[in-house]
Structure 1
Amino acid sequence: MDVKDEGEEDAQASSQRLKLEVEDQQQRKKMFLLGYQFWAKIAAVFLFFGVGAWLYSSQFSTQELLFLTKDTAQADTLTDGSIIVLNKHSLLRYPEKFRGNQRQVWLTKGEAFFTVAPDLEKPFIIHTGSTTIKVAGTSFNVKNRKGSIEVIVEKGTVQVSKSGKMITLSTGEKVLIKQSTVQLIKENNADKLYTYYRSGEFIADGVPLWRMVEMLNEVYSSNLSIGKKGLKNRLLTGTLKNESLEAVLAAISRNTKLSIKRKNNQIILY
């Protein structure tokens, strides 16, 4: 019978315990490394998307501003140097800063005159209703009222498109687009009455009376009419201050010798 020395057994037991402790430490270290690698990957993913979101935000995303007028026209200058004169009761949406290869704004309602800073590489685009207006650098008037879009070019060239159709307008030309049609027919602009909210006056340079009445009804929301058919094409010449309707009518009456009659809510020139 073999009899092991007691000291030898203690040494073997101690060696076994040390071996187990080393294996346990190695296992713990391995688990720690695996956990560290896992959370490091998670952190890297969050960092990747965080940096990506920041880059996207800094390059493409921007705050949208609202330019809203009530009872008076106002002017504003955009970050690219373009100047907008917004007529009363109008709304324009535009970015705080233009990014990318386009400068886009939205005329939600009303009327605005645009003096666009030239930039051939970044065209200026106005969206209004279902119509798109594209320019590189020019000045023009856009009106969106009661579903109809009117574009008048004062200087330069303007591209107007709707439902896949497009026309190009030059200085002194205009187009009137009704909501129910996709026809784009340009014509010569015959007067300067559209400038009234910028200049503060109605420029009647050989303007027929029916056209002046049409404009006054739009500007003052009045119910003005011509009592005799033979008077419709009477030409008006001169400049009328954009004051009250009563003052404008008094000036027309003095210059044309026409009389004014009021019946209920209607005003009749005869």
Structure 2
Amino acid sequence: MLPFQSNHAIDELLVSYLLGEATEEQQRSALKWISASAENERYFQEFQQIWEKSRELAANSSVDVNAAWERMREKLEKGKNGRKEERKMGRREDGKVVSLAGWWRRAAAILAIVLTGAVSWTIYRQWTNAGWMELASQEATLLQLLPDSSKITLNKGATIEYPKQFARNKRRIKLKGEAFFDVKRKPEQPFEVMVNKLTVTVLGTSFNIRETDSATIVIVESGTVQVSDGNQSIVLNAGEQLIAGNTKKSWTKVQQTDKLYQYYRTRTFNCDRTPLWKLVEVLNEAYDSNIVITNPAIRELPITTVFENQPLEEVLSIISQTLDITITRKDDQIYVE
């Protein structure tokens, strides 16, 4: 396992990973380094929060993109034995120059400003008067380590609130949106998630919570959780799912048949006889696309396959061939029939 280190090699690897330019091998190396220790996870979380803030600020920046990128390159290349090697922007090991076009160059430039101290990542975390901290994932997933070493992966657009230090007899956080929880076991200090008038209570387990306009969905991956709303309560075991309706207050407990819910943290779409409508719903969210099923007769068609971080066009092509259906594109809309 790699030890914790903040040096130019690690920083550059993380930049490539967040820019989406890392090769499969580099992605594996980045994930291995992040999971090697709690210190590495904390470092990556701060790094990722800086990245998220940089995306938010990018639209308002008037920075010289090339100059900022070069300044970041210089910062990342300092320090090892006091040497600084000359490199051209985006030069690969085979000598070819890769340019960062458009939005990516702009985002990288803003990230460079942040890394050089113009913007602190702490402005992304806000204290409330009650002593709670708020963290929002904006347009990308976000990994967060809580004070008790529990891990939370926020899907894009999700928000959590949590205290800097948990109470002695309870660990309570608030959630809006969707997140996956890997909770550190502490029987004497139950872990509670407050979401949409529900309370999800655990001792130590992993589970996913998704809040939508019509329902709150809790999926247990390991261990056991208890869900309650003050009027009713239900226990979920590993492999079970609860769909709690927001209006009719109807609760439905079913077996979770696929792992599609993991897509935002694994970058894998794992379908096991998954109905087409459900996969389309997730693809629209993951790729920020507008896919519409125009033929009601194919909505429930089951599909069993695995997509691993593939381009949307490739995913749609495989779906079309597998289910023998037609997929067409017109402007920004994609029609499935």
TM beyond 0.5: yes
Structure-2 separation of matches of 1:85 and 1:122: 21
Deviates more, 1:243-252 or 1:83-92: 243-252
Structure-2 separation of matches of 1:206 and 1:226: 18
1:114 correspondence with 2:178: no
**Alpha-carbon distance, 1:244 to partner:** 4.8
Question: Quick check: 1:83–1:115 contact (8 Å CA) kept in 2?
Answer: yes
Which residue of 197, 208, 215 corresponds with 1:148? 215
Q: How many matched pairs?
A: 209
Q: What one-letter code is carried by the residue in structure 2 that aligns with 1:104?
A: R
Counterpart secondary structure, 2:189: coil
1:236 correspondence with 2:303: yes
Residues 120-150 of structure 1 deviation map (CA, whole Å, 9 limit, x = unaligned)? 1110000011111000111000011225211
Question: Quick check: 1:103–1:123 contact (8 Å CA) kept in 2?
Answer: yes
Question: Quick check: 2:293–2:335 contact (8 Å CA) kept in 1?
Answer: yes
**Alpha-carbon distance, 1:70 to partner:** 1.3
Counterpart secondary structure, 1:253: helix
Question: Quick check: 1:143–1:151 contact (8 Å CA) kept in 2?
Answer: yes
Residues 157-179 of structure 1 deviation map (CA, whole Å, 9 limit, x = unaligned)? 11001142100011111111121
1:80 correspondence with 2:153: no
**Alpha-carbon distance, 1:246 to partner:** 3.3
Structure-1 separation of matches of 2:314 and 2:166: 43
Which residue of 137, 147, 151 corresponds with 1:69? 137
Counterpart secondary structure, 2:251: coil
Question: Quick check: 2:273–2:302 contact (8 Å CA) kept in 1?
Answer: yes
Which residue of 174, 186, 202 corresponds with 2:241? 174
Structure-2 separation of matches of 1:195 and 1:104: 23
Question: Quick check: 2:217–2:244 contact (8 Å CA) kept in 1?
Answer: yes
More strand by share: 1
Q: What one-letter code is carried by the residue in structure 2 that aligns with 1:125?
A: E
Structure 2 match to 1:90 = 158
Change (3 A) 1:199 1:220: same
Structure 1 match to 2:204 = 137
Structure-1 separation of matches of 2:327 and 2:178: 30
Residues 227-261 of structure 1 deviation map (CA, whole Å, 9 limit, x = unaligned)? 44443333322211345543432332243343212
Question: Quick check: 2:245–2:251 contact (8 Å CA) kept in 1?
Answer: no
TM-score (norm 2): 0.57
Matched ranges for 1:9-20 at <5 A: none
Counterpart secondary structure, 2:320: helix
Gaps spanning 5+ residues in structure 2: where? 1-128
Matched ranges for 1:1-270 at <5 A: 63-107=131-175, 109-220=176-287, 222-263=289-330, 266-270=333-337
Structure 2 match to 1:48 = none
Q: What one-letter code is carried by the residue in structure 1 that aligns with 2:291?
A: L
Structure-2 separation of matches of 1:100 and 1:142: 25
| Percent of aligned pairs sharing the same letter | 38
Counterpart secondary structure, 1:185: strand
Change (3 A) 1:243 1:91: farther
Deviates more, 1:160-169 or 1:223-232: 223-232
**Alpha-carbon distance, 1:220 to partner:** 4.1
Question: Quick check: 2:264–2:286 contact (8 Å CA) kept in 1?
Answer: no
Pair member with larger Rg: 1
Change (3 A) 1:202 1:184: same
